[in-house]
Chain A
Amino acid sequence: MTAVAQSEQTVTMTNVEAVRTTLHDALVRDDRVLIMGEDVGARGNVFLITKGFLEEFGAQRVVDTPLAEASIVGIAVGMAMEGLRPIAEIQFADFIYPAFNQIVGEAAKTRYRSNGDYTCPLVIRTPYGGGVRGALSHSVSIEALFYHVPGLTILAPSTPADIKGLLNAAIACPDPVLFLEHKKTYRSVKGEVPGGYYTIPIGKADVKKPGTDLTVVSYGYNLHQALDAASRLDGDGISVEVVDLRSIRPMDKTTILESVRKTRKLLIVHEDNKFGGIGAEISAMVAEEALFELDAPIRRLAGPDVPAMGYALPLEEEFMISTDEMVDAMRSLVTF
């Protein structure tokens, strides 16, 4: 069995294909890498991300685990402590709660509590987010729940090229990484992906569209809507700068502050609930560092503070932020 890397050429692919080829090539490249999770083997993951991996790499490296999330992460923690590079999959982000202690209390504290005697180079991948009729337990955003935890890196790239670079960086990272993949972007977002192995630095945001009148910071599915909204406003002579956070934590203060100091206005957009969310931390950071350089109050456009989006289409649509809402928010902030 000679496995060959799949992504040597620059090709256009979807987000889900970017996850798939990056995982595939990680298995080819590094014997220490293995994938474990529910239905990742014969089924090839519920989104078919690992389809064919079991045949190509064998059951030692593509492990169908028992249906038990706490131990999927916990066992991966033990493997990582003993020198492997496990990539643990939580089938849907909504199912991650049973593994909360393993992520927060164990993985993120392994290096710290042992003062570096043990480390935990572990990647936990999970699809998150709504807009796919996933109802209460197949739609949630979980980033804010883990945001508070020092030692835990949280990534949420939104384009195929960023997914490849950041997933490679996550696998190479000497510490635990929670890697979030927005389900609605899996097949709806396409883009060019450079061939060969590369990484994107963790902790670096990316200005996806330069502008001068307003800074929008976003990530995930919302990022693509924000880019659409910004293009629409181009026609009205409104120049919006769209910053893709990519790395939820560590947060790229430098890029955010540079942008805000230029545009003097800030809108943060995320699907996760507003209260105590990522936007709250970015707002606080900008207020602490650059309050008197702002020309308008900081604005957050975020998921409503209700427990979850409903299954019924109107309930889901009401929860999700529409591109029109983004256009309105951008326009009102620019004319403030």
Chain B
Amino acid sequence: MAKTAAARGRELDRAGLDDAQLVAMLRNMLLQRQLDNRGFQLNRQGKIPFALGSEGHEAVQAGAAAAFKRGADILVPYYRDLGLALGVGMTPFEILSSLFARRTDRSMGRQFPNHYTNRDLGVMSISSIIAGHCTHAVGAAAAMAYRNERGRAVVCTTGEGATSQGEWHESVNYAAVHTLPIVFLVQNNEWAISTPQDMQMKVANVADKAPGYGIPGVVCDGFSPIATYKVMHDALERARSGGGPTIVEAKCYRFLSHSTDDDDRTYRSREIIEERRKLDPVPRFEAVLIEAGVIDDARAKALKADVLRETNEATDAAEAQPYPTVESLYENITAEDYAPWRHWQ
């Protein structure tokens, strides 16, 4: 453990990230894992109707979030983006308010879990229609370009299945034609519910589609937060400085079923998951940081205890909140002061 900083630096390609940033990435990954498990636990306890897991995506999202510029960039996530949501500033209490569908949820208990919205943080509201949000992400990037706002960019995320959608194609194409400041981050976990990648596309990598749009496509190790950070950092910097869009494909894996309503035993063998679990990015990154001397065992333990405490507190606090009032069902259909809908309906 008694290594000098210089020695550590040689062993760990830290992509310019300092110790505090590396630890923040690990903490984000631990918190994702904890909150993911909490969602499934609460569902199995009958306390919430539904949860989606991001297990296996922790590294991608911690890395991408570290490259996101708060207060400038916009995130247009998909529904498996817990770590990105946390990484750009959303709190476990917000996540759990959504899981419990409580009044403190930003959508007031309307949205499905994992469908975040937080305009203050630049997290755009999405629906569940796969890739529909990619066009909105392009619109947001077009708005930045329209106002000549250099130094800002959009992160638009999807899984690999979404790249089969016409709207994904239309979005990437438009962004390319107009050289818009956007990064299409594809988290390739190999499965779209039960459909494997080779039933979605003929190419080995989503990034292989990029030349068809005349833009760069990059593949990165989505089990490494530093590798993902590096690629996302470069792509976002390029976008922010007017260089146009990039497709970033982060190879990861979906360890859990699609959701609490899915049973992946019907289409996927246990052996393959066990095999892939050996590369689980969360313990792996913990080991990397210990090995490099960034943290020690005690610090790792303390981080885990801390995210458990935070998750427990947020669970209790969110569960204690009231449901939205039934009157709220009738609110925010149109603007409150938009008289026609109120008086002539």
Contact = CB atoms under 8 A, between A and B. Distances in A.
> Is chain B a partner of chain A in the same complex?
yes
Interface of A: 34, 60, 65-66, 68, 70-71, 73-84, 86, 98, 101-102, 105-106, 109-119, 150-151, 153, 173-175, 201-204, 247, 250-254
A70 B127 contact: no
B146 A250 contact: no
Interface of B: 74, 76, 106-108, 110-111, 115, 117-119, 124-125, 127, 129, 132, 134-146, 166-167, 170-171, 173-174, 177, 328, 331-335, 338-341, 343-345
A301 B141 CA distance: 47
Most A CB contacts (10 A, CB to CB) among B118, B124, B139, B170 go to B139
B345 A70 contact: no
Which 3 residue pairs of A and B lie closest in terms of their CB atoms, listed nearest first? A78-B139, A74-B135, A203-B340
A174 B142 CA distance: 20
The listed residue with most B CB atoms (<10 A of its CB), out of A113, A118, A204, is A113
Contacts of A204: 340, 344
A174 B146 CA distance: 20
Interface of chain B: mostly helix, strand, loop or mixed: helix
Contacts of A77: 135-136, 139
A115 B110 contact: yes
B146 A114 contact: no
A281 to B, nearest CB: 12
Nearest to B168: A71
A111 B127 CA distance: 12
Contact of B332 (A112, A153, A201): A112
B338 A78 contact: no
B101 to A, nearest CB: 12
Contacts of A101: 129, 132
16 contacts: A74-B134, A74-B139, A79-B140, A81-B139, A82-B74, A82-B140, A82-B143, A82-B144, A84-B146, A113-B110, A113-B125, A115-B107, A117-B117, A118-B119, A175-B334, A203-B339
A81 B140 contact: yes
Contact of A74 (B74, B107, B171, B173): B171
B338 A174 contact: yes
Contacts of B74: 82
A75 B142 contact: yes
B125 A251 contact: no
A247 B338 CA distance: 14
Contact of A66 (B111, B136, B167, B174): B174
A74 to B, nearest CB: 3
